[in-house]
Amino acid sequence: MASLHDVLSAMAADAEVVEEVVRAARTESPEVARLPVTETRRHVAIVLAAGLAAFERPGGTSEQDFAAAAVLGADRAAQGIPIAALLRGVQAGRSRAVEIAVGRGRAAGVPDDVMLAALVDFDRNTRALERQVIAGYHEAELELSRTVHDTRVRLLRRLLGADHTVPSADEVAQGGLNPDARYHCLLSDVTDPYQARVVERRLRATGGIFGLVEGRLTGLAPRLPTSSALGDDVLLVASPAAPLTEIRGLYSLCAKAVPTAARGRPRGLYAVTDLAVETALAAQPELAALVSDAVLDALIPGDAFHGQLVSTALAYLDHGRRLDQTAAALHVHANTVRYRLGRLQEITGSSLDLLDEAEGSQVVHTLQWWWALRTWLNRTGPPSV
């Protein structure tokens, strides 16, 4: 018969349990669900740690646990999550963790009286942590409310985020923007509040305002950042410059394009227009699967040679159907590229000749090939070329 300590230790180390608790928190709180999932995993780790604390240390939760909870609350305040939404997520995660602990404890033969005593300790510890989350949140909220930065972040959230209250021209000016000017919407993959402040300082030369909107560092700027200002550790998607009345729609497009930019690309600045086709196609996963199956059904997932053929064909299309450029990019001879493309067409039985320049004018067919190849690689993983 396993001890309850063993049961809870196994829970804390079980990735599926963590995902169950994460899912409960995000389902109960849509505002929390808009944050990157890594942020929810962080608060779940704190809750599960509280469950183990009574067994690991005399007296249960430590000052370190309380400090982590206070930081969590402060970060949620900085990210603009309402306190009620935060608590709904925390409480939903706690309830799901208790359900799983009870089920696993009974399955392991833990006596009911032992289980009850442990759950009382767990509830006491997590409620203490919850109070620290609230305290950290309110302290950070009070500090933020005193700063010019907070005024600008609030303006960003009204222009771009869930708060659809339209700011007046005076409020826009007070927030550091010109109501009549045109601005680029800049959306990064930075979610950590500390890193966001560091990157924000580097982006000040753009003349814009920046802050965390729906969990990601976002900005409106009259100028795009230079490569040196952006650095090599940040991925940033930028819209064309537009009036503030049109900026909310551009923000939505940038948000959809960030995962596209992050897929297999180095850090850096990307125009949302350059990502348009791939972003639009990524929004249709079911259709992508149908296209891939229809074009590449004869290929075997996991087959190294078939993966090599697909990777070569995709590189060929990405390099404008140029044999010489494709060969240089793959570090092989042009005849090797030609052979692989021929073999791909033989295996798939395609009627579209990838090597026929006249076929290059058939944009729809070329795009269909590209989509099928990209989808196949995304499913099976990158091969060795």
Give me the percent of the chain exceeding a pLDDT of 70. Answer: 89
Q: Tell me: domain 179-279, CATH 3.40.50, correct?
A: no
The chain-wide mean pLDDT, for the chain, equals 84
Q: Pick the closest to residue 315 from 331, 298, 301 (CA basis).
A: 331
Give me the residue spans of the domains in the chain: 4-145, 179-279, 284-380
50 within 8 A of 124, measured Cβ to Cβ:
no
Tokens of 49: 């740690």
Q: Pick the closest to residue 25 from 15, 12, 11, 37 (CA basis).
A: 37
| 133 CB-contact burial (10 Å; exposed 0-12 / middle 13-18 / buried 19+) | buried
The per-residue pLDDT for 57 is 52
Whether the per-residue pLDDT at 381 is higher than 90: the answer is no
Give me the percent of the chain exceeding a pLDDT of 90. Answer: 25
> Distance from CA of residue 255 to its chain's centroid?
10
Q: How do residues 178-192 score in pLDDT, each as one tens digit?
A: 999 999 999 999 999
> Distance from CA of residue 327 to its chain's centroid?
34
The amino acid sitting at 276 is: A
| 294 CB-contact burial (10 Å; exposed 0-12 / middle 13-18 / buried 19+) | exposed
- With cut-offs at 50, 70 and 90, classify the pLDDT of residue 362: low
Torsion region of 131: left, alpha or beta (phi above 0 gives left; psi -120 to 50 gives alpha): alpha
For the ranges 103-107, 292-296, 365-369, which has the lowest average pLDDT? 365-369
Q: How do residues 169-224 score in pLDDT, each as one tens digit?
A: 999 998 889 999 999 999 999 999 889 989 998 998 999 999 999 989 999 999 99
Q: Is 60 helix (H, G, I), strand (E, B) or coil?
A: coil
Is beta strand 268-271 parallel, antiparallel or unpaired with respect to 235-238? parallel
Tokens of 193: 């509040």
CA dihedral (51, 24, 38, 287) in degrees, to 10, reads 150
Say which residues have a Cβ less than 8 Å from residue 97's Cβ, sequence separation at least 6. 11, 17, 21, 44, 47, 48, 51
Is beta strand 242-243 parallel, antiparallel or unpaired with respect to 268-271? unpaired
The amino acid sitting at 200 is: E
Q: pTM of the entire structure?
A: 0.59
Q: How do residues 34-55 score in pLDDT, each as one tens digit?
A: 888 888 887 777 767 665 655 5
- With cut-offs at 50, 70 and 90, classify the pLDDT of residue 15: confident
42 within 8 A of 72, measured Cβ to Cβ:
yes
